[in-house]
Amino acid sequence: MGRAFVYVILGGGVAAGYAALEFSKRGVSPGELCIISDEPVAPYERPALSKGYLLPGAPARLPSFHTCVGTHEERLTPKWYKEHGIELVLGTRVKSADVRRKTLLTATGETISYKILIIATGARALRLEEFGVNGSDAENVCYLRDIADANRIVDVMKSCPEGNAVVIGGGYVGMECAASLVINKINVSMVFPEEHCMARLFTPKIASYYEDYYNGKGIKFVKGTILSSFEFDSDGKVTAVILTDGTRLDANMVIVGIGIRPNTSLFEGQLTLEKGGIKVNGLMQTSNSSVYAVGDVAAFPVKLFGETRRLEHVDSARKSARHAVAVILNPEETGEFDYLPFFYSRIFSLSWQFYGDNAGEVVHYGDFLGTKFGAYWVSKGQLVGSFLEGGSKEEYEAIARATRQKSTVENLTELEEQGLGFALAISQEQPPEPTVSLAGASLVEERPLYAWQAAAGVVVAASVAGFAYWYGRRRRRW
């Protein structure tokens, strides 16, 4: 038994949703395109899971955050796919792929064949067992990658009002979950081996700002140590976390955010891999010319840095997916993907954006005692990375533009004195920059609606009822 499509997208996450929108904009006939996903729901904006989804009161729920609301575009509900003749094969895991025969075999035994395949399988959360610690199966130990995980966190939070949570990992999932737990009146301790939070991106000075802020919200940091084991009760629930330095932390729940691994296994031995992902060229094409890879699973050439990178950010998933579709449907008019890496987070009332690369020498600027500050990274006399907390749309545009053009930096002391003014001056000197991405998206994304709701929701956390009213009104406008 089997079905045949011209285009198949394997994976039903962020990249799949944006690819589907691009297919419909550029023209695909009914019955030509199919999306296969092991998730039971149509593609959605995954970052909402650690933001609006976990809030008390009136949390974000589907269908409100289906792609592509994150960039203020159409919300692709299951009805949308039906109306556009795009087949959604949901709740279906692909268990093997044969790129030579151009077929995929699902766990239900169906063979789905394609002419062109887009791999958008994303990544999975790393499990504690991969680091030699048992306990992931306990009912109060949670991960966060999909809606099922998010629902589990919500249930476990409800089961321990005003209880104690231990968050393992100091990356963005850990940081955002910690904020949501506190808003749900859960006491939080964060444990990670590094010297400070967000160690892959933040400098010690930037991290210390956020850690002070978190301390002010009652969140405790236990740094420089890792999880060693759990204590369990007779029902198999975790009751305490034991760290390698001997510390014991009471725990009613645990959230683990210790990184991800790209879902490449179906293609190992068939396609070239690099940086842990599936290697593609500037056209998002893998080592097999009928197969493309996009999003978290793809390792692609970042022209700006002259090297192949695999990024784990939503903006890169959206834009790489759209680019692949443009290459497939309009090859003559589409050049190589020229991407400026972009990452953001919003926690409590804070909001930051980062562009480029955090390599070379770092220069901080702004008011670290106030609400607006940032950092530049300078390598070989050129600006290669920019971070800004608390900026306006124009200011984020400016740091993005200055980073994209690798502005010359002659003197680091002067750069520090100029601060944000350096990027603003460059931005004013230059004619408007052509857009980085396709389909009219601007250099700096509009604030995603769900994230705005999440951030605003946090600000008014003291008045959950007021937030619920406001949130409900906003949601009806989607």
Ligand X SMILES: Cc1cc2nc3c(=O)[nH]c(=O)nc-3n(C[C@H](O)[C@H](O)[C@H](O)COP(=O)(O)OP(=O)(O)OC[C@H]3O[C@@H](n4cnc5c(N)ncnc54)[C@H](O)[C@@H]3O)c2cc1C
Asked whether 17 and 68 are in contact (CB, 8 A), the reply is yes
Query: Which residue of 20, 24, 28, 46 would you call a contact of ligand X, by CB under 6 A?
Result: 46
Angle value at C-alpha 226, between 223 and 232, nearest 5 degrees: 120
Nearest Cα neighbor of 175 from 140, 213, 137, 203 is 213
The secondary structure of 80-125 as a DSSP string is HHHHTT-EEE-S--EEEEETTTTEEEETTS-EEEEEEEEE---EEE
Q: How far is CA 205 from CA 264, 334, 379, in A?
A: 36, 42, 19
Q: How far is the CB of 412 from ligand X (least distance, A)?
A: 29
Total count of residues recorded for the chain: 478
Stretch that binds ligand X, among 9-17, 270-278, 361-369, 416-424 (CB under 6 A): 9-17
Nearer Cβ to ligand X (52/419)? 52
Q: How far is the CB of 36 from ligand X (least distance, A)?
A: 5
Q: Does 67 bind ligand X (CB under 6 A)?
A: no
Query: Which residue of 317, 327, 439, 444 would you call a contact of ligand X, by CB under 6 A?
Result: 317
Asked whether 341 and 317 are in contact (CB, 8 A), the reply is no
Stretch that binds ligand X, among 115-123, 365-373, 383-391, 405-413 (CB under 6 A): 115-123
Q: Does 38 bind ligand X (CB under 6 A)?
A: yes
Give the contact letters, 129-168, x = binds to ligand X (CB under 6 A), - = no.
---------------xx-----------------------
Give Cα 229 to chain centroid, integer Å: 29
Asked whether 337 and 320 are in contact (CB, 8 A), the reply is yes
Asked whether 154 and 46 are in contact (CB, 8 A), the reply is no
218/220 Cα distance (integer angstroms): 6
Token pair 């562009």: residue: 355
114/109 Cα distance (integer angstroms): 16
Q: Phi-psi region for residue 112, left (φ > 0), alpha (ψ -120 to 50) or beta?
A: beta
Give the amino acid at 415: L
295/67 Cα distance (integer angstroms): 14
Stretch that binds ligand X, among 64-72, 162-170, 338-346, 408-416 (CB under 6 A): 338-346
Stretch that binds ligand X, among 55-63, 155-163, 293-301, 415-423 (CB under 6 A): 293-301
Q: How far is the CB of 411 from ligand X (least distance, A)?
A: 33
- Using CB positions, name the residue nearest to ligand X: 13
Q: Does 13 bind ligand X (CB under 6 A)?
A: yes
Token pair 């504690």: residue: 128
Q: How far is the CB of 251 from ligand X (least distance, A)?
A: 21
Nearer Cβ to ligand X (292/344)? 344
447/18 Cα distance (integer angstroms): 17
Stretch that binds ligand X, among 7-15, 75-83, 158-166, 268-276 (CB under 6 A): 7-15
Stretch that binds ligand X, among 12-20, 128-136, 226-234, 384-392 (CB under 6 A): 12-20
Nearer Cβ to ligand X (179/251)? 179
Nearest Cα neighbor of 88 from 102, 77, 97, 74 is 77
Nearer Cβ to ligand X (324/384)? 324
Nearer Cβ to ligand X (91/224)? 91
DSSP state of 289: T
Query: Which residue of 57, 59, 70, 122 would you call a contact of ligand X, by CB under 6 A?
Result: 122
Q: How far is CA 295 from CA 37, 204, 312, 324, 336, in A?
A: 15, 29, 7, 10, 16
Stretch that binds ligand X, among 27-35, 157-165, 191-199, 340-348 (CB under 6 A): 340-348
Query: Which residue of 50, 64, 140, 353 would you call a contact of ligand X, by CB under 6 A?
Result: 50
Query: Which residue of 71, 264, 345, 351 would you call a contact of ligand X, by CB under 6 A?
Result: 345
Query: Which residue of 28, 34, 94, 183 would you call a contact of ligand X, by CB under 6 A?
Result: 94
Strands 103-106 and 94-98: antiparallel
Q: Does 312 bind ligand X (CB under 6 A)?
A: yes
Token pair 């008045």: residue: 463
Token pair 């081996």: residue: 193
What's the sign of the alpha-carbon dihedral 47, 185, 478, 35? Answer: positive
Q: Which of residues 262-291 bind ligand X (CB under 6 A)?
A: 263, 266
Query: Which residue of 64, 121, 353, 386 would you call a contact of ligand X, by CB under 6 A?
Result: 121
Q: Does 357 bind ligand X (CB under 6 A)?
A: no
Query: Which residue of 5, 7, 9, 11 would you call a contact of ligand X, by CB under 6 A?
Result: 11
Residues that bind ligand X (CB under 6 A): 11-16, 36-39, 46-47, 49-50, 93-94, 120-123, 144-145, 172-173, 263, 266, 295-297, 312-315, 317, 343-345
